[in-house]
Amino acid sequence: MKYFKQTLLTITAAITFSSCSSQEREIIKKETVMNKKQQVVALLKAIETGAAEPVGVIDAAKYKQHNLAIADGLAGFGAALAQLPKGSARVNTVRVFEEGNFVFAHTDYNFFGPKIGFDIFRFEDGKIVEHWDNLQEKPVNANPSGRTMTDGPQEASELEKTEANKILVRAFVDDILVNGKMEKLAGYFNGDNYIQHNPQIADQLSGLGQALGEWAKQGITMKYDTIHKVLGEGNFVLVVSEGHLAGKLTSFYDLFRVEKGKIAEHWDVIEPIAPQSEWKNQNGKFGF
């Protein structure tokens, strides 16, 4: 709710912009820059409400789409929304973060069925010019530790530690998930303390180990091949990676919360990458 209140204040400020003093105009400009997160939340909510105003944040001439099921440009976005059954869409953005020209959001959707998603938007000159996402079907039940794919802390803290936390998390993904250096695993965590939101895995490092062991027995392998992007705000870091799950080319979006220099909590969204013959745009899934 607070994001929508802040967005309304920004819109009101813009309307009265011409009547303000030069000093007041500079304040409004700064507030507009600071409110990229609120603009993203309003844009996503417009999928549910059909409101036209938030779509104005998209630069129609430059908008580049990386969701491979949607055609490129603003027209492709509009065509996808037109196919939604009337009144079916639901959008609840749970957490949203910002780094430079990028805003990344974690959202509980009903978008052609219940889904959990991560969205990344790139801004240029105050407008959204590019979009990436990852969507996964929302599970009916909580995970073995009673957690959902979206619950937990929502606000970033320790903003001064953003770069250090990004370095830590990138190293973890590179060491453990890309290169399989399991001997380094314990060093990234505070003992067995680890909160897990993956729908199939329980809390604690022991829960992760148990799940991986069960998958191995079933012949299910998970391998990260490439880290494409690392974004962070304070103690939250999102890693976008490409790899294979059960032999299928897969996109992995992993959000980590860092606490006292150790990884404390994890959310993820995992999506198979469709064959290129099925793509509705040729921008690629990643392309950062």
Residue 23: what pLDDT? Answer: 54
Give the integer Cα–Cα distance in Å for 173 and 284. Answer: 22
Two tokens at 106?
């974690």
Q: Please give the residue that has the higher pLDDT: either 83 or 18.
A: 83
Q: Is the pLDDT of residue 157 over 70?
A: yes
Q: Residues, the chain, total?
A: 288
Residue 54: what pLDDT? Answer: 95
Chain centroid, CA 186 distance in Å? 26
Give the integer Cα–Cα distance in Å for 198 and 153. Answer: 15
Q: Catalogue all structural domains in the chain, each as residue range(s) with its CATH number.
A: 2-137 (3.10.450.50), 159-278 (3.10.450.50)
Averaged pLDDT for residues 169-183? 94
Residue 217: what pLDDT? Answer: 83
At 216, which amino acid appears?
Answer: A
Chain centroid, CA 145 distance in Å? 23
Least reliable range by pLDDT among 112-126, 194-208, 235-249: 194-208
Q: Please give the residue that has the higher pLDDT: either 3 or 40.
A: 40
Q: 264-277 pLDDT, tens per residue?
A: 999 999 999 999 99
Q: Are 186 and 205 within 8 A, CB to CB?
A: yes
Q: Please give the residue that has the higher pLDDT: either 209 or 12.
A: 209
- From the number of C-beta atoms within 10 Å of its C-beta (0-12, 13-18, 19+), residue 190 rates as middle
Enumerate the H helices of the chain as residue ranges: 2-15, 22-34, 36-49, 73-82, 162-172, 204-217
Q: 38-66 pLDDT, tens per residue?
A: 999 999 999 999 999 999 999 999 999 99
21 confidence band (pLDDT: 50, 70, 90): low
pTM of the model: 0.87
Residue 276: what pLDDT? Answer: 96
Mean pLDDT for all residues in the chain: 89
Residue 268: what pLDDT? Answer: 98
